[in-house]
Amino acid sequence: MAKKYDFKASELPISPMTLTTTLENPTGGWRSFKPVIKNKTAPCTATCPTKVLIPHFIDSLVKGDLDMAANLLHRNNPFPSITGRLCHAPCELPCNRGKYDEPISIKQLERFVGDYYLDRKGKPPRRETGKRVAIVGGGLAGMSAAYYLRSKGHEVVIYDRNPNLGGYLRYYVPEYRLPLAVLDAEVGALERMGVKFVLNTEVGRDIGFEELKEKYDAVILAHGSSIPYTPDFPGVDLLKSGWDLMKEVREGARPKVSGKVAVLGNGYTAFEVARVLRRLGADPFVVYPTAKIRIPFSDREIFTLAEEEGVKFFFAKVPLKADRRDGKVILTVAEWDGKAVVPATEREMEFEEVFLAYEGTADHGFLPDTIRSNGTLKADRRSGETPLEGVFVAGESVSGPSPVVNVIYSGRSVAAAVDAYLRGRTYTPENMPEVVGYERIVTDYFPKAPRVPEMRLSPAERIHSLTREEVLGYTQELAMKEAERCFNCGFCNACGNCYVFCPDYTIKWVHGRPKVDYEYCKGCGVCSEECPRGVIDMVKEREF
- For residue 494, the minimal CB distance to other proteins (Å) is 7
Interface segment toward other proteins; rule CB under 8 A; list 149-157, 253-261, 354-362, 444-452: 444-452
Q: Does 34 bind other proteins (CB under 8 A)?
A: no
- For residue 441, the minimal CB distance to other proteins (Å) is 12
Rounded to whole angstroms, the Cα distance separating 104 from 480 reads 12
Q: Does 344 bind other proteins (CB under 8 A)?
A: no
Print the binding letters for residues 501-520 with other proteins: x by CB under 8 A, - otherwise: xxxxxx--x--x-x--x-xx
DSSP-based three-state secondary structure for 354: strand
DSSP-based three-state secondary structure for 265: strand
- For residue 23, the minimal CB distance to other proteins (Å) is 5
Contact 211, 124 (CB under 8 A): no
- For residue 463, the minimal CB distance to other proteins (Å) is 38
310 has which bridge partners?
none
Burial class (CB in 10 A: 0-12, 13-18, 19+), 245: buried
* Closer residue to other proteins, CB minimum distance, 55 or 122: 55
DSSP-based three-state secondary structure for 360: strand
* b (16+ CB within 10 A) / e for 441-459: beeeebeeeebbeeeebee
Interface segment toward other proteins; rule CB under 8 A; list 23-31, 164-172, 285-293, 456-464: 23-31
* Closer residue to other proteins, CB minimum distance, 177 or 522: 522
Rounded to whole angstroms, the Cα distance separating 272 from 255 reads 16
Among 26, 64, 124, 429, binds other proteins (CB under 8 A): 26
Q: Does 20 bind other proteins (CB under 8 A)?
A: yes
Interface segment toward other proteins; rule CB under 8 A; list 16-24, 115-123, 359-367, 432-440: 16-24
Strands (DSSP E) found in 137-265: 155-159, 196-198, 218-221, 227-228, 240-241, 259-265
Total number of residues that touch other proteins (CB under 8 A): 56
* Closer residue to other proteins, CB minimum distance, 23 or 253: 23
Handedness of CA 57, 413, 226, 306 (dihedral sign): negative
CA distances from 191 to 54, 57, 163, 164 (A): 27, 25, 15, 12
Of residues 97-156, those binding other proteins (CB under 8 A): none
Contact 310, 98 (CB under 8 A): no
* Closer residue to other proteins, CB minimum distance, 32 or 428: 32
* Closer residue to other proteins, CB minimum distance, 111 or 485: 485
Q: Does 96 bind other proteins (CB under 8 A)?
A: no
> What is the three-state SS of 474-527?
CCHHHHHHHHCCCCCCCCCCCCCHHHHHCCCCCEEEECCEEEECCCCCCCCCHH
Amino acid at 57: F
Interface segment toward other proteins; rule CB under 8 A; list 12-20, 179-187, 233-241, 305-313: 12-20
Q: Does 538 bind other proteins (CB under 8 A)?
A: yes
Q: Does 365 bind other proteins (CB under 8 A)?
A: no
Angle, nearest 10°, between helix axes 297-308 and 268-280?
A: 10
DSSP-based three-state secondary structure for 65: coil
* Closer residue to other proteins, CB minimum distance, 2 or 19: 19
* Closer residue to other proteins, CB minimum distance, 330 or 494: 494
* Closer residue to other proteins, CB minimum distance, 421 or 474: 474
- Write the DSSP assignment of 367-397 as a string of letters: S-GGGEETTEE---TTT-B-SSTTEEE-THH
Rounded to whole angstroms, the Cα distance separating 132 from 140 reads 20
Task: Return the number of other C-beta atoms located less than 10 Å from residue 365's C-beta.
Answer: 9
Q: Does 19 bind other proteins (CB under 8 A)?
A: yes
Among 100, 229, 315, 446, binds other proteins (CB under 8 A): 446
Q: What is the distance, to the nearest Å, from the Cα of residue 251 to the centroid of all Cα atoms in its chain?
A: 27
Contact 504, 27 (CB under 8 A): yes
Q: Does 523 bind other proteins (CB under 8 A)?
A: yes
DSSP-based three-state secondary structure for 45: helix
* Closer residue to other proteins, CB minimum distance, 262 or 486: 486
Interface segment toward other proteins; rule CB under 8 A; list 81-89, 136-144, 369-377, 499-507: 499-507
Among 16, 163, 365, 375, binds other proteins (CB under 8 A): 16
* Closer residue to other proteins, CB minimum distance, 10 or 15: 15
Print the binding letters for residues 44-83 with other proteins: x by CB under 8 A, - otherwise: ---------------x--xx--------------------
Q: Does 496 bind other proteins (CB under 8 A)?
A: yes
Print the binding letters for residues 468-487 with other proteins: x by CB under 8 A, - otherwise: ----------------xxx-
Among 27, 162, 241, 376, binds other proteins (CB under 8 A): 27
* Closer residue to other proteins, CB minimum distance, 30 or 171: 30
- The region, left, alpha or beta by phi > 0 then psi within -120 to 50, assigned to residue 64 is left
Among 18, 374, 426, 431, binds other proteins (CB under 8 A): 18
Interface segment toward other proteins; rule CB under 8 A; list 18-26, 122-130, 222-230, 328-336: 18-26
Q: Does 88 bind other proteins (CB under 8 A)?
A: no
Helix, strand, coil abundance in the chain, percent, nearest 5: 35, 20, 45
Which residues are at the interface with other proteins (CB under 8 A)? 13, 15-27, 30, 59, 62-63, 442, 444-447, 484-486, 488, 493-497, 499-506, 509, 512, 514, 517, 519-526, 528-530, 538
